[in-house]
A and B are shown apart, each in its own frame.
Chain A
Amino acid sequence: MTASVSTVFIVDDDTAVLKALTRLLRSVGLNVATFTSPQKFLEQFEPGLQGCLVLDVSMPTLNGLELQRGLAAKGNMLPVIFLTGNGDIPMSVQAMKQGAVDFLTKPVHEQDLI
């Protein structure tokens, strides 16, 4: 994982969602990197990356909030945006308390995401 270019890192276990979000963000000229496995992303993460993180909340084995904590423990400074298809207030509060920049619900409009 390189740190030279500002990149939107998207972590979601749904490949169709990853593909669609990638198209949308690239259509506005953003650089995108996608990961279907939150564990692999955490393993490969290095602090000092430029860009932002878009994390799905509901993922098997390691959900978005747990990933956020793991990244924070590794010294993550990237802003985190959560995407969820099943959001509720307690979850959003916890996410914000853990330092998330935004908590968006799916399906997400481009104005909100971009």
Chain B
Amino acid sequence: MSWVTILWSMLVGTSLTFALLHLFIGAKGIQRWANFAFVIAAVATAAITAFELMAMRATSTEQMAIILRWVHPPILILWMAIVCFVRFYFKAGRSWLAGIGAIVRVLAVILNYTTGQNLFFKEITGLKQVTVWGGETISIAEGILNPWYPTGPISTLLLAAFVLDAAIGMWRREQDSSDRRRALILSASIIFFLLTAVVHAALVNIGALNSPYLVGLSFMVILFAMSYELSYNMFHSVQMASMLQASEIELRRNKQRMKLAANAAELRLWEWDIVYDQIWSSDSTLALYGLDESRTISSESFFNIIYEEDRERVRFAIANSLAGNGDYECEFRIIMPDGHLHWFNSRGRIDFDDLRQPLRMQGVTIDITSRKKAKLEVQQQRNELIHLSRVTLLGELSGSLAHELNQPLTAILSNAQAAQRFLARDKEDLAEVENILNDIVAEDRRAGEIIHRLRQLLKKGETQCFPLDLNKVTKDVLKLVNSDLVNHNVIVSLVLDPNLPIVIGDRVQIQQVLLNLIMNACEAMSQSEEGKRRLFIRTKRFCADKVQLSVADQGPGIDAESRERIFEPFFTTKLQGMGLGLTICRNIINSHGGRLWAADNAPNGTIFYFTLPIS
């Protein structure tokens, strides 16, 4: 078999093989229409190559004429397929250019069948037997050229212009270097093919070149370009696959690390599909709550396991996050299957779609029971300390308190004894006895109030905040310490704002603070000259939302450095005392949302201020 036959058969086979390959690629959906267009181009080229071989083996002019006539339909198909391929692949190219070229090509085909023997020759006058490479002999047509012959090359040049235009359009549009490279390689190969095919065919037809038609061979350039692109894409795909695999491995590792960290921190991951109302949770959390972990649960099922008192709060928090920026945080309790009450802190974030509809909420939940217990213990210890401080304070006032109580008791006893004497007389003075009994009742009430005040102060309990009249609180405290003030020869100067707004606070704790400040003031002035022991207590509105009470003495004062340190635990300027009184006072005022501080009371003494928020 001659090498021409072998080579041209191989060219046909190669074109068909590539057609099949790109048919599979297009069927997978990868640039489907561009690949299908290429398939058609490759099949058309295979047909053209087959016609080239038949022409080289033609034995008569009639045979050659038929071959050269019937080669034009596949040329038209190839032409159209290249236009489609370029359009689909490059997504560029002026349509009018392709349109004009198509019209000319169709005209060429029509002229092929209506003028002369074919588009190339008006009449084939003979067959040249040309010896080509390796001693092979082929037939080449010679004759009178068809005057309509240029329509073919013109349409091919228009096609080349269209391809060039599309390539330029893609180059300008794409910024990625690989896309530009693709535009360059493919457009160059197509244009090379077109120009080579048309120029070479023209030279053969006019007899300037004794060579077989090389359309099929020229098409190999395009095939090489396409195979290069294909292998590049495959290499890129393999690379991407490797990267994807590596990413998946890393993702798996990260998931494991996250799981490990979550388990170590006792974090429970959960996700709530808001659209389908299903809650998923990690690591048998649902089983921990006593739920069936083999399936997801609805939000309502979850609410039902929450401690009843906390359900409304959780619903409110969720509603807030749905209406707001999507952030969710809430604390709630759950009665566990073993009957114990556990505290949980849950945090999450909602994902919204483009229309701001909630899709899902993802979050973590952590068991904070031990933290809550610790906090509760701290709070209890704090309350114990405050109570202890109060009891200690009252212990220091025991003498004064005894005096205060003894006054009404003295009145009661003396009145009762007087009444006994009146009743023992022959002439009873019942009116006087009635007066005495009234006074006894009044004094009993007086004693009862003192005891009641004392009991309130001695009572241990949690902070209970109610509306308070700070002026009244001040007066009550002064009644309690009256004897002590008298014993210390301290004169109280009281300036109370009659329009002082009501505050919210724990009466007992505020009294404790005031008591502490007054006792400190008395002690500070204990060495001062008698007659210069004046205690100034004042209430006023401090600002828009706070009231202020001040206790000023005329003692020796406190230096600037110590004025802040006196609020530190165990710091004291006294000879006796643990140095906790003012620390506790500040703690109490801070917990009420106020502030306690000291200032210099020039020319001598110290002023203590505290503020409280208005109700």
Contacts and interface: CB of A to CB of B under 8 A. Distances in A.
Contacts of B408: 16
A10 B189 CA distance: 132
A58 interface: yes
Given A19-B439, A85-B404, A58 B417 contact: no
Contact of A23 (B402, B403, B436, B487): B436
Interface centre among B408, B411, B421, B446 (most CB of A within 10 A): B411
B60 interface: no
A4 interface: no
A17 interface: yes
Interface string A58-85: 1111010000000000000000000111
B486 A85 contact: no
A84 B400 CA distance: 11
B397 to A, nearest CB: 10
Given A16-B407, A16-B443, A86-B403, A107 B487 contact: no
A107 B410 contact: yes
16 contacts: A16-B407, A16-B411, A19-B439, A23-B418, A23-B432, A26-B418, A27-B417, A27-B418, A28-B421, A58-B483, A63-B487, A85-B407, A85-B483, A86-B483, A106-B403, A106-B409
Nearest to A13: B486
Contacts of A85: 402-407, 410, 483
A107 B413 contact: yes
B399 interface: yes
Given A24-B415, A27-B421, A63-B489, 8 more contacts: A16-B439, A21-B410, A27-B422, A84-B403, A86-B487, A105-B406, A108-B410, A110-B414
B486 A20 contact: no
A40 interface: no
B412 interface: yes
Contacts of B483: 58, 85-86
B410 A24 contact: no
Nearest to A105: B406
Contacts of A27: 417-418, 421-422
Interface residues of B, number: 32
Contacts of B439: 16, 19-20
Contacts of B238: none
Contacts of A16: 407-408, 411, 439, 442-443, 446
Contact of A17 (B414, B422, B432): B414
B409 A107 contact: yes
**Interface of chain B: mostly helix, strand, loop or mixed:** helix
Contacts of B414: 17, 20-21, 23-24, 107-108, 110
Contacts of A106: 403, 406-407, 409-410
B305 to A, nearest CB: 62
Contacts of A83: 410
Contacts of B400: 86
B413 A108 contact: yes
Interface string A3-43: 00000000000101101110110111000000000000000
Contacts of B485: 60
A110 to B, nearest CB: 5
A86 B408 CA distance: 13
Contacts of A20: 410-415, 418, 439, 443
B491 interface: yes
A21 B439 CA distance: 12
Interface in B439-455: 439, 442-443, 446
B406 A19 contact: no
A97 interface: no
Closest 7 A-B residue pairs measured CB to CB? A85-B406, A85-B403, A20-B414, A86-B403, A23-B418, A27-B421, A106-B410
Contacts of A23: 414-415, 418, 432, 436
Interface centre among B403, B410, B486 (most CB of A within 10 A): B410
